[in-house]
């Protein structure tokens, strides 16, 4: 799904901003601790994008950015929307729930009666 | 195919509406050798499985994943939408004082395209509410009269349940009978809850209640009994195949009964249409019945005028008339009443459109002490039926509890909202994942469905000011919730709180942060209520033409070749969802029609 998500960001964000967040992230990968990630999340311009990306990974949905943020960053108007049917199904929230995307990846007759993951751990 | 039927009757029966009642009639009557034309206002639902599956993508891609998300309406056949209840500017013209919270779908298959599949019988006492409890209205027939048709309906729509679970509150079954399929396995969540609360003693009013988490009858395919063949997906092919040979013959746990079962393991009315004798059946989709033409002298119906549109995105249409010997309105409780009113057929009783009911319902939601496996399996597999009967019914409404398997989806928009809330709190990485793992699987949701009595003031009317793009009237809804239901709502709230407390469920019900629902106040307490899609009462049945619209056979008192079928005929609804009962009534009417037309 990575290329789908990147295409989505390309279409929604000014190129300079996308470069900034990608570079900021690249700079953290070889550093210990969470300080650099926290810095991205706390950044008034990059933070909302980072949180949107996390939500996109988990839910397959892009969340409309605040108008105030958009005007400051010269970004086009966006809207809350499902990135694609595939993105919905790939949402990590279903994995976190120990379940499956509603309407897809059926678990089979009676699977819902079994102990869910994490019960005995 | 364009049919011009204005030249005379080419069918025995015209049925308006291809929902569950219309489809069951079409199947039964064509199989008996009668020629049936079905006029469906909405778009055709694909007869091929491939076409049906495209509706799944609409659901996946929809931002708002409500009951309607897989079934977009046509311009010519608009429909109510859950989101309209808040905005107040949808298909319904809401006159209040309370908004009516339910919706339905205008498409081939009707609302069975996205129903949950609950297939409860009504309690015997529900048919005699006035005699037994001094409230509401009695039916002109009793449980025993309808019982054989309940069995037929359970066979036709394919209900999975065990008689051993369903014999309570006076419900009786014919000797030796059991449902066509074994009950759907209860969810791990149900079993955990049952271990904690089964046998719990409490009271509703002065009535002692012993709580039991009970499997309910569901129109979802399960392990068959006695040689029954589960009916799978509709998949018509040129070689004459109507149903897929193997697909959809077992529920596979897609957790999407509403809005769309991806494999059609759950009943939808398309299955009954597919099983009709297709050589005698004509289904005309995108054909909106607009007027019933009646002979002024005899009162007999002479035809149904309908508006046919070719493009679901356009209001362009042509007007035709369909003629037959007998006419059946099976268009939905609201649409049936609307069509009668639009045709000037007000009846001597003045009851057309009146007595509109629903199950105004409240939610309770919380976090179980341990993971219960939310977001798996059919959206619910059990309920609590113990408050459906009791002496308290002379004082306030009964209620039934539906126990969800889909977390807080309906109440807060979970799992998405659980994610966004955590991310906005600053969680990410492993911390976020751990948080979601410990939260999502523990989400529990109850929906408490409260009985509502027939009241003439709750009604559907029409107003020439309010028309749809085809020039047909939009339903104008007058609706209130009386103290009888509100007191039941208050009792339901106390009940779920007691059950949560016993089960160690942390009550997280907070309407302020949940999905928006309309509010109503009772004795200083505010309740947020939602509709259940259980419309009833708009062409009420009775044994007196001065107080009812149809007789016990669902036949119009004034127009003897006109039948109005569906939950609009119900004088009361008790606490069961109406589908199985309206299916049983439709099959009973089919028997009368078959005898009358062949005799």
Mean pLDDT value of segment B291-316: 97
pLDDT, mean over chain B: 96
- R_g of chain A computed on alpha carbons: 17
Specify the pairing of strand B380-384 against strand B213-215.
antiparallel
For residue B599, the model assigns a pLDDT of 67
Tell which of B224, B441, B444, B445 to mutate to test the A interface (max A CBs under 10 Å). B441
Mean pLDDT value of segment B419-445: 96
Q: Which of residues 314-353 of B touch A (CB under 8 A)?
A: none
- The predicted-structure confidence for B391-405, as pLDDT tens digits, reads as follows 999 999 999 999 999
Q: pLDDT-based confidence at A28, cuts 50/70/90?
A: confident
Cβ separation A109–B253 shorter than 8 A: yes
- The predicted-structure confidence for B159-173, as pLDDT tens digits, reads as follows 999 999 999 999 999
Residue B534 C-alpha, separation from nearest chain A C-alpha, in angstroms: 24
Q: pLDDT-based confidence at A118, cuts 50/70/90?
A: confident
Say whether residue A99 is in contact with chain B using an 8 A CB cutoff: yes
Q: Cis link prior to B294 (omega < 30° from 0)?
A: no
Integer angstrom CA distances of residue B7 from B11, B27, B36, B302, B304: 12, 26, 16, 12, 13
Cβ partners under 8 Å of residue B418, min gap 6: A93, B407, B408, B412, B436, B439, B440, B443
For residue A30, the model assigns a pLDDT of 74
The model's pTM is 0.96
Say whether residue A96 is in contact with chain B using an 8 A CB cutoff: yes
What is the ipTM, given to two decimal places? Answer: 0.97
Cβ separation A99–B433 shorter than 8 A: no
Residue of chain A with shortest Cα separation from B437: A96
**Where is pLDDT greater, at B45 or B388?**
B388
Say whether residue B57 is in contact with chain A using an 8 A CB cutoff: yes
Q: pLDDT-based confidence at B128, cuts 50/70/90?
A: very high
Q: Which of residues 470-489 of B touch A (CB under 8 A)?
A: none
Residue A11 C-alpha, separation from nearest chain B C-alpha, in angstroms: 18
Q: pLDDT-based confidence at A31, cuts 50/70/90?
A: confident
The minimal CB distance from A112 to the residues B65, B187, B222 is found for B187
For residue B3, the model assigns a pLDDT of 41
pLDDT for B5 beyond 90 = no
Specify the pairing of strand B361-367 against strand B36-39.
unpaired
Please give the span between the terminal C-alpha atoms of chain A, in angstroms, as a whole number. Answer: 30
Q: Report whether B342 contacts B28 (CB < 8 A).
A: no
Say whether residue B597 is in contact with chain A using an 8 A CB cutoff: no
For residue A76, the model assigns a pLDDT of 86
Residue B474 C-alpha, separation from nearest chain A C-alpha, in angstroms: 30
Q: pLDDT-based confidence at A117, cuts 50/70/90?
A: confident
* Closest alpha carbon to B481 in B457, B509, B514, B515: B457
Residue B32 C-alpha, separation from nearest chain A C-alpha, in angstroms: 36
For residue B4, the model assigns a pLDDT of 42
pLDDT for B331 beyond 50 = yes
Q: pLDDT-based confidence at B9, cuts 50/70/90?
A: low
Ramachandran angles phi, psi of B11, nearest 5°: -130, 160
Cβ separation A113–B377 shorter than 8 A: yes
Say whether residue B381 is in contact with chain A using an 8 A CB cutoff: yes
Residue of chain A with shortest Cα separation from B380: A112
Mean pLDDT value of segment A73-94: 95
Say whether residue A2 is in contact with chain B using an 8 A CB cutoff: no
Q: Report whether A73 contacts A45 (CB < 8 A).
A: yes
The minimal CB distance from A102 to the residues B256, B420, B433 is found for B256
Cβ partners under 8 Å of residue B390, min gap 6: B204, B205, B207, B209, B398
For residue B205, the model assigns a pLDDT of 87
pLDDT for B379 beyond 70 = yes
Report how far residue B549's alpha carbon sits from residue B561's, in angstroms, rounded to the nearest whole number: 14
Mean pLDDT value of segment B547-566: 98
Q: Which of residues 168-197 of B touch A (CB under 8 A)?
A: 185-188, 191
Q: Report whether A40 contacts A24 (CB < 8 A).
A: yes
Q: Which of residues 58-77 of B touch A (CB under 8 A)?
A: 59-63, 65
Cβ separation B440–A55 shorter than 8 A: no
Q: pLDDT-based confidence at A120, cuts 50/70/90?
A: low
Q: Which residues from chain A sit within 8 angstroms of residue B419, using beta carbons?
A: 55, 58-59, 93
Cβ separation A99–B252 shorter than 8 A: no
Please give the span between the terminal C-alpha atoms of chain B, in angstroms, as a whole number. Answer: 32
State whether residue B134 is helix, strand or coil: coil
For residue B8, the model assigns a pLDDT of 55
Cβ separation B423–A106 shorter than 8 A: no
Say whether residue B230 is in contact with chain A using an 8 A CB cutoff: no
Mean pLDDT value of segment A36-63: 95
The minimal CB distance from B436 to the residues A93, A100, A107 is found for A93
Q: Cis link prior to B97 (omega < 30° from 0)?
A: yes
Domain map of chain A by residue range?
2-98
> Helices (DSSP H) in B306-428: which residue ranges?
333-342, 409-412, 416-424
Integer angstrom CA distances of residue B105 from B17, B81, B115, B273: 11, 9, 10, 17
Say whether residue B406 is in contact with chain A using an 8 A CB cutoff: yes
Cβ separation B375–A81 shorter than 8 A: no
Residue of chain A with shortest Cα separation from B379: A102
């Amino acid at each position: 799904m990575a290329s789908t998500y990147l295409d989505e960001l390309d279409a929604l964000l000014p190129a300079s901003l996308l470069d900034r967040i990608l570079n900021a992230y690249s700079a953290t990968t070889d550093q210990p601790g969470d300080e650099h990630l926290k810095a991205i999340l706390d950044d008034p311009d990059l933070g909302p994008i980072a949180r949107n990306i996390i939500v996109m990974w988990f839910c397959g949905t892009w969340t409309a950015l605040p108008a105030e943020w958009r005007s400051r960053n010269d970004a086009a108007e966006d809207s809350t929307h499902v990135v694609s049917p595939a993105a919905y199904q790939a949402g990590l929230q279903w994995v976190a729930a120990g379940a499956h995307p509603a309407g897809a990846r059926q678990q089979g007759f009676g699977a819902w009666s079994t102990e869910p993951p994490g019960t005995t751990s | 195919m364009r049919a011009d039927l204005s030249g005379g009757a080419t069918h025995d029966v015209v049925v308006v509406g291809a929902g569950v009642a219309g489809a069951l009639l079409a199947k039964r009557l064509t199989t008996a050798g009668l020629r049936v034309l079905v006029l469906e206002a909405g778009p055709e639902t694909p007869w091929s499985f491939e076409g049906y599956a495209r509706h799944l993508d609409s659901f996946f891609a929809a931002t708002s994943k409500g009951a309607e998300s897989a079934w977009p309406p046509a311009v010519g056949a608009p429909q109510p939408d859950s989101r309209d209840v808040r905005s107040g500017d949808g298909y319904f013209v809401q006159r209040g004082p309370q908004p009516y919270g339910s919706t339905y779908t205008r498409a081939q298959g009707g609302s069975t395209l996205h129903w949950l599949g609950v297939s409860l019988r009504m309690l015997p006492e529900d048919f005699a509410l006035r005699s037994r409890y001094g409230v509401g209205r009695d039916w002109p027939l009793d449980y025993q009269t309808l019982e054989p048709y309940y069995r037929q309906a359970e066979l036709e729509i394919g209900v999975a349940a065990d008689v051993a679970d369903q014999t309570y509150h006076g419900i009786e079954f014919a000797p030796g009978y059991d449902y066509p399929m074994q009950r759907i396995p209860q969810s791990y969540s149900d079993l955990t809850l049952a271990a904690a609360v089964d046998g719990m003693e409490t009271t509703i009013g002065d009535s002692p209640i012993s709580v039991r988490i009970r499997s309910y009858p569901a129109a979802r395919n399960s392990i068959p009994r006695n040689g029954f063949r589960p009916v799978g997906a509709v998949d018509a092919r040129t070689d004459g195949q109507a149903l897929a040979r193997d697909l959809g013959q077992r529920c596979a746990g897609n957790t999407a009964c509403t809005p769309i079962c991806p494999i059609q393991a759950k009943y939808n009315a398309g299955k009954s249409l597919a099983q009709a004798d297709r050589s005698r059946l004509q289904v005309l989709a995108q054909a909106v019945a607009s007027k019933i033409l009646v002979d002024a002298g005899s009162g007999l119906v002479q035809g149904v005028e309908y508006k046919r549109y070719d493009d679901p995105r356009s209001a362009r249409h042509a007007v035709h008339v369909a003629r037959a010997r007998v006419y059946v309105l099976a268009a939905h409780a609201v649409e049936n009443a609307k069509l009668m009113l639009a045709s000037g057929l007000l009846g001597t009783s003045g009851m057309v459109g009146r007595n509109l009911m629903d199950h105004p319902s409240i939610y309770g939601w919380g976090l179980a002490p341990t993971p219960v496996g939310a977001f798996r399996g059919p959206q619910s597999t059990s309920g609590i039926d113990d408050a459906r009967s009791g002496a308290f019914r002379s004082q306030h409404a009964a209620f039934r509890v539906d126990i969800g398997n889909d977390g807080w989806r309906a109440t807060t928009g979970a799992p998405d909202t659980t994610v966004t809330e955590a991310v906005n709190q600053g969680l990410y990485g492993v911390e976020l994942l751990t948080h979601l793992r410990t939260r999502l699987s523990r989400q529990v949701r109850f929906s408490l469905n409260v009985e509502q009595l027939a009241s003439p003031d709750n009604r559907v009317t029409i107003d020439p000011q309010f028309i749809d793009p085809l020039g047909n009237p939009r339903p104008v809804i007058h609706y209130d919730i009386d103290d009888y239901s509100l007191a039941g709502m208050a009792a339901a709230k106390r009940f779920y709180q007691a059950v949560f407390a016993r089960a160690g469920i942390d009550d997280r019900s907070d309407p302020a942060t949940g999905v928006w629902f309309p509010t109503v106040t009772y004795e200083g307490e505010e309740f947020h209520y939602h509709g259940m899609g259980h419309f009833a009462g708009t062409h009420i049945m009775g044994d007196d033409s001065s107080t009812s619209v149809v007789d016990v056979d669902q036949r119009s008192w004034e127009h003897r070749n006109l039948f109005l079928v569906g939950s609009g005929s119900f004088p009361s609804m008790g606490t069961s969802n109406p589908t199985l009962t309206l299916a049983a009534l439709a099959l009973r009417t089919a028997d009368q029609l078959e005898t009358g037309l062949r005799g």
